[in-house]
């Protein structure tokens, strides 16, 4: 009876992990459906999710060490980088294929590996070397395929890749304060500091801010910022980095399928190979555990 319950529990947890990635993979599609500008959609994603996230933060247990001024500044700075990440990613979503945008937007894991090796002056392990190599080759194949379509698609790839860089900085700034804040409380501070930045960028770009149709934005805020992120936070304590990394590979596949069904985006053999290499890089990045206990495992983008 206990074995059956354990198997059922593991199956449910795995289903929730896959559901989280599936929900997040539909985010780019919802951004395109929104009748605001892409950066404005990021602003509404944060703002509309804030009340529910704040309620979840209020229910978190207390008793953690004080954050302090330095910790407060790090979380606020992380929120600014998160807003820039969303702005770049959403601009990329508008200009390239959904599968490409999802892959490049999740490139923060590989960027963190490279940054960690440079900062620690350590020789890379096989998983780390494999992740960086696969990411570079896969990125080249995908970008070359985008360039063959149009320069606009290549620009979209670069925006999405820039988003991955911003997301890596976001994670690095939060790394030292994670033990002093609950995940939902930290997310409240990130949203509160990032939403005004996203709004400023949207206004500076001359985007449409106020939507006529609220449905895509409400679904985007609830699915990506609350459900997807919440399930991923829980999954980090349920599964090994390898399992989470492999589940992460469902995101670009679902995004590519959504792009094909909704927008007629077709992938060539070269594109599929590039996506496979980039996906392998993300899985290897999750398998490359941090050394020395200094860095925390990579958390997939919310």
How confident is the model at residue 187, as a pLDDT? 85
Which candidate, 164, 184, 160, 151, places its Cα nearest to that of 62?
A: 184
Domain count, the chain: 1
**What mean pLDDT, rounded, does the chain reach?**
79
Query: In this structure, are residues 133 and 278 in contact, taking their beta carbons and an 8 Å threshold?
Result: no
51 within domain boundaries = yes
Task: Produce one character per residue of 87-115: b if its CB has 16 or more CB atoms within 10 Å, e if not.
Answer: bbbbbbbbbbbbbbbbbbbbbbbbbbbbb
DSSP symbols for 51-67: HHHHHHHHTS---PPP-
Residue 152 lies in a domain: yes
User: Looking at the domain assignment, is residue 301 inside a domain?
Assistant: no
Structural domain contains residue 50: yes
pLDDT band at 221 (very low <50, low <70, confident <90, very high): very high
Domain that holds residue 41: 28-287
Question: How high is the pLDDT of residue 172?
Answer: 80
Give the residue from 23, 299, 31 showing the smallest Cα distance to 159.
31
Calculate mean pLDDT across residues 25-49: 93
Residue 238: pLDDT band with limits 50, 70, 90: confident
Assess if residue 96 is contained within a domain: yes
Instruction: Give me the residue label for tokens 């801010």.
Output: 209
What pLDDT band is residue 28 in, cutting at 50, 70 and 90? confident
The pLDDT of residue 299 is above 60: no
pLDDT the model gives residue 241 = 56
Looking at per-residue pLDDT, the higher value among 264 and 44 belongs to 44
Long-range contacts of 209-216, Cβ-Cβ distance < 8 Å, separation of 24 or more: 209/36, 209/37, 209/40, 209/43, 210/36, 211/34, 211/35, 211/36, 211/44, 212/35, 213/34, 213/35, 216/30, 216/31, 216/33, 216/34, 216/35, 216/41
Q: What is the reported pTM?
A: 0.78
Residue 191 domain-assigned? yes
- Which two three-digit tokens encode residue 19? 């559901």
In a domain, 254, yes or no: yes
pLDDT digits (tens, 9 = 90+) for 71-129: 889 989 999 999 999 999 999 998 888 877 877 887 776 676 666 666 656 666 776 67
Q: Is residue 14 part of a domain?
A: no
- 298 pLDDT band, cuts 50/70/90, is very low
For residue 132, how many C-alpha atoms fall within 13 Å in the half-sphere facing its CB?
13
Higher pLDDT, 287 or 74: 74
Whether residue 201 is predicted with pLDDT greater than 90 in this model: the reply is yes
- Of the two residues 255 and 220, the one the predictor is more confident about is 220
Tens of pLDDT, residue by residue over 183-200, are 788 888 999 999 999 999
């Amino acid at each position: 009876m206990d074995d059956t319950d354990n198997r059922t529990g593991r199956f449910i947890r795995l289903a929730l992990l896959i559901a989280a990635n599936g929900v997040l993979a539909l985010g780019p599609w919802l951004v395109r459906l929104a009748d605001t500008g892409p950066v404005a959609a990021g602003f509404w994603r944060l703002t509309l999710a804030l009340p529910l996230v704040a309620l979840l933060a209020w229910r978190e247990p207390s008793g953690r060490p004080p954050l302090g001024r330095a910790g407060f500044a790090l979380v606020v700075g992380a929120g600014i980088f998160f807003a820039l990440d969303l702005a770049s990613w959403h601009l990329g979503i508008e200009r390239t294929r959904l599968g490409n945008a999802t892959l490049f937007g999740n490139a923060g894991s590989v960027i963190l590996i490279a940054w960690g090796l440079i900062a620690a002056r350590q020789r890379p392990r096989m998983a780390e070397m494999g992740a960086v190599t696969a990411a570079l080759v896969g990125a080249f194949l995908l970008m070359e395929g985008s360039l063959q379509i149009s320069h606009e698609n290549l620009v979209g790839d670069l925006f999405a890749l820039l988003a991955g860089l911003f997301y890596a900085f976001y994670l690095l700034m939060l790394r030292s304060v994670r033990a002093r804040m609950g995940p939902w409380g930290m997310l409240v501070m990130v949203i509160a500091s990032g939403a005004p930045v996203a709004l400023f960028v949207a206004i500076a770009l001359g985007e449409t801010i106020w939507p006529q149709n609220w449905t895509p934005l409400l679904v985007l805020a609830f699915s990506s910022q609350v459900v997807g992120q919440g399930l991923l936070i829980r999954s980090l304590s349920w599964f090994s980095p390898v399992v989470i990394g492999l589940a992460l590979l469902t995101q670009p596949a679902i995004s590519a399928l959504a792009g094909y069904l909704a927008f007629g985006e077709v992938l060539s053999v070269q594109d599929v190979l590039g996506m496979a290499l980039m996906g392998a890089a993300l899985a290897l990045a999750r398998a490359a555990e941090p050394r020395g206990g200094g860095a925390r495992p990579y958390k997939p983008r919310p």
